[in-house]
Amino acid sequence: MDKLVVEGGCKLNGNVCVSGAKNACLPILAAVLLTDDECVISNVPDLKDVTTMLKILGALGRRVEREGAVVRVSAGSVTNVTAAYELVSTMRASIAVLGPLVAKYGRAKVSFPGGCVIGPRPIDLHLKGLRALGAEIKVQEGYILAEVKRLKGKRIYLGGHFGSSVLATANTLMAAVLAEGKTIIENAACEPEISDLINFLILMGAEISGNGTPTLKINGVLKLKGAEYSVIPDRVETGTYMIAAAATGGCVFIENAKPEHNAALIDKLLEAGVVVKEHSGGVEVCRGKDRLNAVDITTLTYPGFPTDLQAQMMSLTSVSNGISVITEKIYPERFIHISELNRMGANILLEGATAIIKGVRSLSGAPVMASDLRASAALVIAALVAEGKTEISRIYHLDRGYEHLEEKLSGLGARVKRIDG
Ligand code: EPU
């Protein structure tokens, strides 16, 4: 298994270009199933999760070609409606094919995605949305079986214990666009990735209003057409480079970034004493002072502070001046990085879903293990800050969500290399 070896103590400086958003691209690729026409999606990042989604489309019978950041799904119909365990079990976002399949073909068989290292990840809201639209759903031998003649529009409240759900909103929305009549989704997720999906669906001929708000109104249509679409830049990748720049004390310009998608992060970085300059073509981040201030963070649904940047901010606050408090309100168990950061000399205590971080002056390199995608990014940031060498194992997690990570970091002056381990 590959390892990442990082020699710490280097300030990141220079320009880095952000890739297309993984979490926008995955449901958009699933939405292609809603039409038999050709679709061309560009700004698609070269990531393992994207490859998995393309394999799923292929296994369903669609012809997929990829050239650089452009994916072409040829005109044609699916030849079967089963998304098998072997693929779905490697990526939860595979569940996004459920809504399109049942809406277009009236049948779907999708493996139950199961739990994951960041805590329980139920799918009750996905099923609630589809059932409300009239789908008969049962779970059998580890598969979700959905069937319906034609879905029927309905008013649906899609909130759960932790608020709105990104992929349940995507699934319900993708089903509703081909349903008969009008659907209203209340408490829809407002994440930019959902807005991107809506823009793509509208281009395909869907009738949706309320984009960017928690109330989506959809007039079902009989048929959607093919479309060409470019995916938005990745706000989590952007945020990760912003935090890395601030943590290492350098000055980095992140090209193509949309700072308006990172407002909550920018607010916290400014509070910490980081200098952030927003430009139309990207965002520039420089460390404003020798030691940054402690900050308190609570993760929330958009536009609140994203859970996908919680771990990276924990690395930054590990070496800030004072005590920071980070509370996780989306995935209360998403703290697996704490023990690894403490191995590197951080002083972090976990109390329920709240981490108390007593800032230390420095971290020291150590062998550590990546556990999930964003926790791995947090370890990379900690390793860049630390004195000495850090060896991060199980970095296949990083390949799921960060395109060309070593190349991008090396371009900013980091001493990073991948070795076969
Ligand atoms: N939830 C339910 N029931 C459901 C679905 C979700 O209770 O049926 C709960 C979850 O357990 C969680 C909360 O609702 O507590 C929010 O989860 P959500 O459904 O919004 O997460 P998701 O759609 O499965 C997406 C991203 C995640 C990101 C979350 C939250 C994709 C492919 N994944 O997941 O990204 O953390 O939204 O913003 O879009 C990542 O990229 O590393 C990642 C994990």
Which H helix or E strand runs over 124?
Answer: helix 124-132
Give residue 420's pLDDT. Answer: 85
Q: Best mutation site among 165, 302, 335 for ligand 1, i.e. most ligand atoms within 8 A of its Cβ?
A: 165
pLDDT for 118 beyond 90: no
Q: Which residues are catalytic?
A: 116
Contact 177, 201 (CB under 8 A): yes
Tell me the CATH number for domain 22-230: 3.65.10.10
Cβ neighbours, 10 Å, residue 261: 25
Position in ligand 1 atom list of the atom nearest CA 119: 11
Ligand 1: atom nearest CA of 96 is 32
Instruction: Tell whether ligand 1 has an atom less than 6 A from the beta carbon of residue 165.
Output: yes
Q: For atom 16 of ligand 1, which residue has the closest CA?
A: 165
Does the beta carbon of 304 sit less than 6 angstroms from any atom of ligand 1? no
- Say if residues 12 and 384 touch (Cβ distance below 8 Å): yes
From the number of C-beta atoms within 10 Å of its C-beta (0-12, 13-18, 19+), residue 297 rates as buried
Say yes or no: CB of residue 373 within 6 Å of ligand 1: yes
Instruction: Return the best residue to mutate from 19, 23, 298 for the ligand 1 pocket (most ligand atoms within 8 A of CB).
Output: 23
Burial of 48 from C-beta contacts in 10 A (0-12 / 13-18 / 19+): middle
In the predicted model, is pLDDT for residue 366 greater than 70? yes
Residue 401 Cβ < 6 Å to ligand 1: yes
Q: How confident is the model over 270-309, as pLDDT tens digits?
A: 999 999 999 989 999 998 778 999 999 999 999 999 999 9
| pLDDT tens-place string over residues 399-410 | 999 999 999 999
Domain range annotation of the chain: 3-19+233-419, 22-230
At residue 114 the predicted structure's pLDDT band, cuts being 50, 70 and 90, is: low
The CA 170 to ligand 1 mean position distance, Å, reads 11
Which structure tokens are listed for 200? 């793509």
Ligand 1 centroid from CA 168, angstroms: 8
3-state secondary structure of 261: helix
pLDDT mean over 47-52:
95
| pLDDT per position as a tens digit, 153-167 | 999 999 999 999 999
pTM for this predicted structure: 0.98
Distance 190 CA to ligand 1 centre (A): 13
Three-class SS of residue 259? helix
* Arithmetic mean of pLDDT, 332-353: 97
Closest protein CA for atom 2 of ligand 1: 122
| CATH top class, domain 3-19+233-419 | alpha beta
Give the confidence band of 113 by pLDDT, cuts at 50, 70, 90.
Answer: confident
Q: Quick check: do 3-19+233-419 and 22-230 share a fold?
A: yes
